[in-house]
Every structure is written in structure tokens, then in C-alpha cells.
């Protein structure tokens, strides 16, 4: 008898309407003329909902610099909160997760926006907490603080937001026509927060939302990022190109969560995967070739140099970036160190690195039939490397269609994914408890 899995995977889609594989918007049929418009993202999101996926997830940047450099991967063309609010009215089950940076917003504003999204969507909101590495020029910040300070601010930011969401008891709304009190002031508590970065009296001026709080996602894999995630996050995204590294991260992360006094099973670890899915292995290889043929190595070199902050103008595409140009400084971030390792330990050339960063951006990638890719996912899932995956569609809309119509049914058939939604809220999809408010702590 075939092995019957005990639980199913969590699957979210990294919603990049131009496609994850950077220049894939140039492919025929990409609907790139509609980038930034609602009908296109609605169609993509409905495709995910039909496949019963847990959530769509919108990344964000708050600068036009990527577009001006011809890099269409993460553009900010869909501002997450407005886009997800519109999608709340066009969908009914799928989770709606969006990125808001703790370096540029304020906790009271963010807490209100996400509480509103959670209420408008009937309990489907998620927040991807990021600290951002660019965009300061639009907020009067000449130079962004070092990562450690950004994470200190992020920690305080999330702490304030959580306290604001919890400032209304679930019993606060009494709607008492006779007495003339809609809300019971005794059930709504100020937070009186006075920290290093924020001073917020509270309480929130919105009723407690269906999930109590939105589901909290975070995506930093540095020590500070993991600390933030282990303290607050329900879900962590991580870029892991190999199973052994992913399993190591998974174990370390769950241990950190346990050390915080939280149940490790209540925190989900989702590595990214870029699946290039074909009806057959051969067709998938053809698609992969087609995608690679769109890579512009000139702009790729410039972008890689900028991302890594290494001068590589003089290096031949078929040579390696020399060891002395890399830094061991851990504050350079986890992605930097993945690329450093790929060069120094695995011998990748500059050309290989450009392809690597264009194709999957340090995430796992797989090319083949649904069955072949499902094998990889199941191997990671059963092997203690993942609770599920952040799916990065290589091209839109066809790459997503292939994920939804070929890969997901394969996982469903094997019992690794749901065939119907069992709950209504994102927390229910993820198997997470609804947190209590201040009067239950
Ligand atoms: C799947 C994934 C999605 C991310 N999305 C965003 C995003 O939309 N906006 C952003 O500013 N950073 C984003 N990041 C970056 C992380 O939030 C974080 O800043 C980065 O991983 C560096 O932090 P670290 O050094 O702690 O790993 C993302 C990272 C991952 C792995």
C-alpha cells in the first residue's frame, strides 16, 4: 500500500505578476501590459484559490529603483494592502498575505491596515514582516541603519502591533442599545508603550478582527532575523537551495522557537521552490531553456554586483569571483553568504551566479514533470526540511497555471495536499490556534 502522509503541506504562492524568473515577462502571453492592474492579479489569485492553496503572498519594495534598472521581479507595482483589500472582495477562501516594512511604516498605521484587511476578508490576512534593504531615500533616510538596528526596530514594531491587536477583548463589543454603549471601555485596554523607537498609547480604534491578529510571516534567515521570527512569527520563509542546509535551518529554527517557550509545531517553516513544470520532463527542460534564453548577462552582471556590493566589472563571465573579494562579515546577510558559498565551495563561475540569481534567487529550483518535482518536495517535507513551500512561479500566468493544474493535483493524489478547504480563515488553513486578547494572557 502507498505511504499515507499524516499531514499535508502548506503551500503559498509568491505572487510576482511579472514572473519570478526575472525577464520572463517578455515571453508571449505574459499579460505584462496589465502589470499593476486588478484583473490580472485577480485571475492569478483565483487560479491559486481553485487549487486550494493556503495563501497568496505579495512582496514589496518601496523604491522605483528596480524598475529603473530593468529588474521587474520585485517592483512594488501592486501595493500589498490596497491590492489585497481589493482581492478580499473577489475571493472567498484563500489567505491574503502582504509585505509591510518595519523600517518605513509606523506600528499604529500597520496594525490598523492589517486589522482592517483581516476583517474585510473574513479572517484571511497575513503580514510578511520585512526590514528592507533599500528605499530609505523616500523616507528621509540617507543611509539605512545596520541590520542589527533594523531588527531591533522590527522587534519593537511587531511587539507594539501585537499589543494593539490584543488591546480589544473578544468581549469588547457589547452593542448595547439600551445602555447606549456599543463597546465596553473596561474591555479595551491602553498599551502605554514607551520603547527605544516607538511611543504608542493605544488602544487600537478597531474591533478585534476574526483571526485576533493576522498571521505573522517573516523571511530573514540571519541570526537577528531568526530571533525575530522565533519570537513572533507563525510562518517563516527561507531561501534554501539544498536539502541538508534546509534541514539544518529547520531544526535550528524550531529549537529557537522551543527556547522561547512556544510550541515548535505552531510555527511553520516554508522554503521557497521555483518549479519549472512540464507535462513531461522533456517539455519542462524546453521551458527552462526558453526562460534562460531571456537572460541579459550585461544587466545581470550589474545587478549582481549591486546586490553583493562587490566590484565584478573586470571579471570574465567564465571565471569565479576571487575569494579575496568576499567578506566573512555575517552582517552582509544570509543571501550574500549563500552566493559566497556557491562560489568558494561549489566553484560557480560569474555566469553560473547570474543564472542562479535570475532563475531562483538562492531558492531551491526544480525542472521536470509534476511527478519528478513532487518527489523533491515530498523528500524535503518528509525529511524534516520543510512544513511546506513558498511556490515561486517562474513565469506568469502559464508557470502558475502549470503549478496549479499539474503539480498541485499530483500532491493531492499522493495525499500531501488538501482537495477542499476545511476552514475559512488563514489560521485554520495553516492549523494555527487563534490567539487570545489581553484579558486572556
Ligand atoms: C521568500 C522571501 C521573500 C521576501 N520578500 C521580501 C519583500 O517582499 N520585501 C523585502 O523588502 N524583503 C523581502 N525579503 C527579504 C527578507 O525580509 C530579509 O530582509 C532578507 O532575507 C535579509 O534578512 P536576513 O539577513 O535576516 O536573512 C524576502 C525574503 C524571502 C526569503
The CATH number of residue 98's host domain is 3.20.20.30
pLDDT at 50: 98
Let me know if residue 305 belongs to a domain.
Answer: no
Mean pLDDT calculated for residue range 84-92:
98
8 Å CB contact between 435 and 212? yes
The preferred substitution site among 57, 59, 149 for testing ligand 1, maximizing ligand atoms within 8 Å of CB, is 59
The pLDDT > 90 percentage for the chain reads 87
The residue range of the domain holding 130 is 10-168+190-281+362-433
Residue 130, beta-bridge partner list: 101
Let me know if residue 300 belongs to a domain.
Answer: no
Residue 235, beta-bridge partner list: 217, 268
Ligand 1 centroid distance, CA of 99 (Å):
10
**Residue among 240, 211, 217 at smallest CA distance from 59:** 217
Let me know if residue 70 belongs to a domain.
Answer: yes
The protein residue whose alpha carbon is closest to atom 6 in ligand 1 is 59
Ligand 1 centroid distance, CA of 409 (Å):
29
CA-angle at 304, arms to 299 and 308, nearest 5°? 155
C-alpha to C-alpha distance for 337 and 166, rounded to whole angstroms:
38
Residue 17 beta carbon below 6 angstroms from any ligand 1 atom? no
Q: What's the pLDDT tens digit per position in 44-63?
A: 999 999 999 999 999 999 99
Mean pLDDT calculated for residue range 34-50:
98
Nearest-atom index, ligand 1, CA of 130: 17
Q: What's the pLDDT tens digit per position in 204-245?
A: 999 999 999 999 999 988 999 999 999 999 999 999 999 999
Could you tell me where the beta strands, DSSP code E, fall in 222-267?
235-238
- Whether a cis peptide bond, with omega within 30° of 0, leads into 203 is yes
Residue 225 beta carbon below 6 angstroms from any ligand 1 atom? yes
pLDDT at 6: 81
Phi-psi region of 53 (alpha: psi -120 to 50; beta: other; left: phi over 0): beta
Confidence class for position 73, pLDDT limits 50, 70, 90: confident
The predicted complex's ipTM stands at 0.97
Residue 95 beta carbon below 6 angstroms from any ligand 1 atom? no
Residue 361 beta carbon below 6 angstroms from any ligand 1 atom? no
**Total number of domains in the chain:** 1
Let me know if residue 178 belongs to a domain.
Answer: no
Let me know if residue 341 belongs to a domain.
Answer: no
Ligand 1 centroid distance, CA of 331 (Å):
14
pLDDT at 1: 45
Cell of 341: 558559498
Let me know if residue 217 belongs to a domain.
Answer: yes
Amino acid at each position: 500500500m502507498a505511504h499515507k502522509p499524516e499531514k499535508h503541506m502548506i503551500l503559498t504562492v509568491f505572487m510576482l505578476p511579472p514572473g519570478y524568473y526575472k525577464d520572463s515577462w517578455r515571453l508571449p502571453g505574459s499579460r505584462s501590459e496589465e502589470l499593476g492592474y486588478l484583473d490580472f492579479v485577480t485571475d492569478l489569485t483565483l487560479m491559486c484559490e481553485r487549487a486550494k492553496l493556503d495563501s497568496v503572498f505579495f512582496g514589496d519594495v518601496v523604491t522605483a529603483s528596480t524598475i529603473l534598472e530593468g529588474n521587474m521581479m520585485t517592483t512594488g507595482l501592486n501595493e500589498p494592502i490596497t491590492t489585497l483589500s481589493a482581492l478580499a472582495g473577489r475571493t472567498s477562501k484563500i489567505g491574503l498575505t502582504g509585505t509591510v516594512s518595519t523600517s518605513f511604516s509606523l506600528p499604529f498605521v500597520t496594525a490598523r491596515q492589517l486589522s482592517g484587511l483581516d476583517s474585510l476578508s473574513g479572517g484571511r490576512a497575513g503580514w510578511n514582516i520585512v526590514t528592507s534593504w533599500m528605499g530609505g531615500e523616500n523616507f528621509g533616510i540617507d543611509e539605512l541603519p545596520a541590520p542589527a538596528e533594523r531588527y531591533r526596530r522590527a522587534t519593537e514594531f511587531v511587539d507594539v502591533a501585537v499589543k494593539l491587536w490584543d488591546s480589544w477583548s473578544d468581549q469588547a463589543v457589547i452593542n448595547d442599545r439600551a445602555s447606549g454603549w456599543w463597546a465596553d471601555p473596561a474591555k479595551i485596554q491602553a498599551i502605554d508603550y514607551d520603547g527605544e523607537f516607538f511611543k504608542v498609547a493605544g488602544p487600537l480604534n478597531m474591533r478585534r478582527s476574526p483571526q485576533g491578529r493576522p498571521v505573522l510571516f517573516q523571511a530573514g534567515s540571519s541570526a537577528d532575523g531568526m530571533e525575530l521570527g522565533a519570537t513572533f512569527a507563525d510562518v517563516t520563509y527561507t531561501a534554501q537551495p539544498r536539502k541538508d542546509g534546509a534541514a539544518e535551518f529547520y531544526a535550528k529554527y524550531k529549537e529557537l522557537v522551543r527556547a522561547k517557550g512556544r510550541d515548535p509545531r505552531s510555527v511553520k517553516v516554508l522554503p521557497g521552490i521555483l518549479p519549472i513544470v512540464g507535462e513531461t520532463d522533456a517539455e519542462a527542460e524546453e521551458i527552462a531553456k526558453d526562460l534562460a534564453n531571456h537572460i541579459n548577462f550585461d544587466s545581470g552582471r550589474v545587478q549582481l554586483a549591486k546586490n553583493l556590493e562587490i566590484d565584478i566589472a573586470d571579471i570574465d563571465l567564465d571565471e569565479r569571483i576571487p575569494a579575496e573579494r568576499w567578506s566573512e562579515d555575517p552582517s552582509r546577510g544570509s543571501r550574500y553568504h549563500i552566493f559566497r558559498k556557491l562560489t568558494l565551495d561549489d566553484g560557480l563561475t560569474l555566469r553560473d551566479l547570474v543564472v542562479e540569481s535570475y532563475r531562483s534567487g538562492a531558492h531551491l529550483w526544480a525542472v521536470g514533470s509534476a511527478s519528478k518535482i513532487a518527489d523533491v518536495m515530498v523528500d524535503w517535507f518528509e525529511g524534516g526540511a520543510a512544513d511546506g513551500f513558498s511556490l515561486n512561479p517562474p513565469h506568469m500566468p502559464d508557470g502558475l497555471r502549470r503549478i496549479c493544474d499539474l503539480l498541485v493535483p499530483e500532491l493531492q493524489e499522493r495525499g500531501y495536499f488538501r482537495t477542499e478547504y476545511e476552514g475559512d480563515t488563514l489560521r485554520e488553513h495553516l492549523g494555527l490556534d487563534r490567539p487570545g486578547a489581553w484579558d486572556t494572557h
